[in-house]
Structures are given as structure tokens and as C-alpha cells.
Amino acid sequence: MEFNLEVDAIGINCPLPILRTKKALATMQSGEVLKVKATDAGAAHDFPAFAKQTGNELLSSTTEGDVLVFFLKRR
């Protein structure tokens, strides 16, 4: 999937992956796509909830080995 910006949150525990994602999304234009890579197990639940709360669209949520990969579209 094509994306405009990437956040590497590998090895970082909650709540930092969400905080870094929020900060990155704030720099982006509406319709742009953010890729987030995380290893915190809680991220699997945190990112769908974050997208719902903020109105951003969670386009994809996959696992590549031990890494969770999320694609979020800026509202």
C-alpha cells in the first residue's frame, strides 16, 4: 500500500506508539496515508480505538512476523 509518512514504533510500549501516531497525523494533509509499525501487543486494540475516536480511517491492520503494521488515512 502506498503511504506518505511512516512511524517506526518498534520496541516502544504504550502509550508512545499512539502518541507518535497522533503527532505524525497532525503534520499530514487530509487524505494522506500514514504507515505505523509497532511491536507492543496492545497496539492491536489501541489503533482501531484510536482511529474511531479521532475520525481517521484505519485502512489496514496486518502482522509481519512480530511487527504489527497499520495504515491510517488522515481525515
Catalytic residue ranges: 14
Q: What ranges in the chain are assigned the alpha helix state H?
A: 16-26, 43-54
The H or E element spanning position 62 is strand 57-64
**Which residues sit opposite 71 in a β-bridge?**
35, 60
